[in-house]
Amino acid sequence: MSATSEGLDSTCSFSDFDVIGFDLDHTICKYKLDILFPLIYKCLVKHLVEDLGYDEDIARPLEDDKDFVTKGLVCDVEKGNFFKFSEDGYILRASHGTTPLSDDEIEEIYGKERHWAPFNNLKATLKQNATVHFFENYFDMPGALVFARMVDLEDKKAGKRLYEYKFQRDIAASFEKVFRRQAYAEGSGGYFPSYKADPLKLIQPCSDSVKRWLRSLKESGKFVFLMTSSNVDYGVSLLEYTLGKDWQSYFDVSLFYARKPGFFTEEDPTKRPFLEIKDNCEVDTIVNDLEPGKFYSQGNVHEFMKLIYKATGKTNAKVMYIGDSLRSDIFPPSQYANWTTVPILEEMEIEGMMEYSIDGDNDEPSSKKCKIIETNALERDIILSEQWGSFFVDKKTTGASIHSDHEGFVAMNTLWGWFIKTYATFALPQLDYISELPLDHKFHTFSHPDTKFGGFYPCIPKPLGKFL
């Protein structure tokens, strides 16, 4: 039974919850990934080349190595190696820079057991440091290629594989220059000026059905909130383009620059107070008593739960939170706040889904068959990777911790697959897939005893179909 579903039935519905929360980026606001990835990459390398003097070779188009880009890569920063892990830490696939490592090379570096020492702490905490970094969200993923190409460049200069690199700080500085929260107002860093020039080139508005569904949550008496790590000025702009000028009417309270996962993990609430927002700018006024109908900056889960109590009158209000990042939106609210979590996994859609739903107890005809949403071929082309394979499953020959079939495949065996089935209740490709369902629709959870992958709605990803 998953951590989030412990104590819950093997099905759940939105009507079961008192409070429903949403992330913004890649949840309410869907980005056009085929536009987003090259833009972020271009902005990062521009700083490295023009300001820090790195070779222009790293400024080649992202598309030249698009097969390297995939979700969930973990980096051994010191050695310049990238991994795809199984749930028990076995290195399923690896590369040095952009170059794949053979099985013999993996075992030469990491031993016959193909295990990296920092893995256990990574799995337990999802914390990053000077030697461990991972790329599990759509803003980070282009950075993996930046790092890998810099490894390639240093090796080329040395005429050999170095396995010791010192440029992580420069890459971190590039991310800071591009995404620092002041950059939106300043018009600096490259990314925000490009967004401002044509927002709808980069993002797409919510459908009318999603808007109606969001409104139905409040109309049914739910306390609905928004919580995003985006700064308020950028966040408000996204909301105006995705939901409209009346975006505030969809939520009872909105939290900006929440800096997840710290919003959940900081034990001392005085170190992360809520701050007031005026004219779409954070001010230094600390807010000790949150009120519905407003929006705030930063904050912590301890003070926020006081607002939930005030709004619901329940000391044990049931909270569901929906977001895209396993590191920020799924693991910490489940682990530290006992919230039920639902990830938005566009990989379900991009890798393809089985035709029929296995969520079959429901009476609504729309739940019986997958709702068809046409996927962007350019997005699939840039996200799918032959080098790294499926986000959900992989083939390995040893170290299996769960049953494998005769071909050597292990069902849902990747590290990120483990986080999904352990800390999520069910998963969606987009909000559009549920926007026409009634709020009492019963979703199978990942703990459902009658199905292997019942938590995927509306259908399981095709790479997992062989295990039904």
Chain segment 123-137, per-residue pLDDT in tens: 999 999 999 999 999
Tell me which residue of 374, 370, 373 sits closest to 356, measured CA to CA: 370
> Class assignment of domain 18-29+206-317?
alpha beta
Q: What pLDDT is stored for residue 2 in this prediction?
A: 41
* Backbone phi, psi, residue 283, to 5°: -120, 170
Choice between 407 and 92, residue whose per-residue pLDDT is larger: 92
Confidence of residue 7 (pLDDT cuts 50, 70, 90): very low
pTM of the shown model? 0.93
Instruction: For strands 81-85 and 73-76, give the pairing.
Output: antiparallel
Confidence of residue 317 (pLDDT cuts 50, 70, 90): very high
pLDDT of 5 over the 50 cut: no
Q: What pLDDT is stored for residue 453 in this prediction?
A: 67
Q: What pLDDT is stored for residue 376 in this prediction?
A: 83
Using left for φ > 0, alpha for ψ between -120 and 50, and beta otherwise, residue 107 falls in alpha
Confidence of residue 76 (pLDDT cuts 50, 70, 90): very high
Residue environment code for 424-455, b if the CB has 16+ CB neighbours within 10 A, otherwise e: bbbbbbbbbbbbebbbebbbbbbbbeebbbbb
Residue 288 CB-density burial (10 A; 0-12 exposed, 13-18 middle, 19+ buried): exposed
CA distance 314 to 316: 5
Exactly one of 9, 16, 18, 23 is catalytic; name it: 23
Provide the sign of the torsion angle of the four alpha carbons 102, 104, 106, 109, taken in this order.
negative
Q: What pLDDT is stored for residue 377 in this prediction?
A: 87
Q: Where are the domains of the chain?
A: 1-12+356-468, 18-29+206-317, 33-197
Tell me which residue of 168, 164, 162 sits closest to 130, measured CA to CA: 168
Q: What pLDDT is stored for residue 452 in this prediction?
A: 65
Express each pLDDT in 301-315 by its tens digit: 999 999 999 999 999
SS3 content of the chain, % helix, strand, coil (to 5): 40, 20, 40
Distant-in-sequence, close-in-space partners of 267: CB < 8 Å, separation ≥ 6 = none
pLDDT of 428 over the 90 cut: yes
Other beta carbons less than 10 A from residue 271's beta carbon: 9
In the chain, % of residues over pLDDT 90? 84
* AA letter at 348: M
Q: What pLDDT is stored for residue 121 in this prediction?
A: 97
Helix ranges restricted to H, 243-345: 262-265, 301-312, 331-337
- The arithmetic mean of pLDDT across residues 201-224, rounded, is 97
Counted residue by residue, the chain has a size of 468
CA distance 446 to 176: 37
pLDDT of 63 over the 90 cut: yes
Write out the two tokens for 35: 């536009």
Express each pLDDT in 338-368 by its tens digit: 999 999 999 999 999 987 655 544 444 444 4
Distant-in-sequence, close-in-space partners of 438: CB < 8 Å, separation ≥ 6 = 364
Question: Within 13 A of 316's CA, how many CA atoms are on the CB side?
Answer: 1
| Residues β-bridged to residue 223 | 19
Confidence of residue 448 (pLDDT cuts 50, 70, 90): confident
Annotated active-site residue 25? The verdict is yes
Exactly one of 25, 34, 152, 155 is catalytic; name it: 25
Write out the two tokens for 352: 């393809």
Express each pLDDT in 247-258 by its tens digit: 999 999 999 999
Express each pLDDT in 138-166 by its tens digit: 999 999 999 999 999 999 999 999 988 98
In eight-state DSSP terms, residue 228 is: -
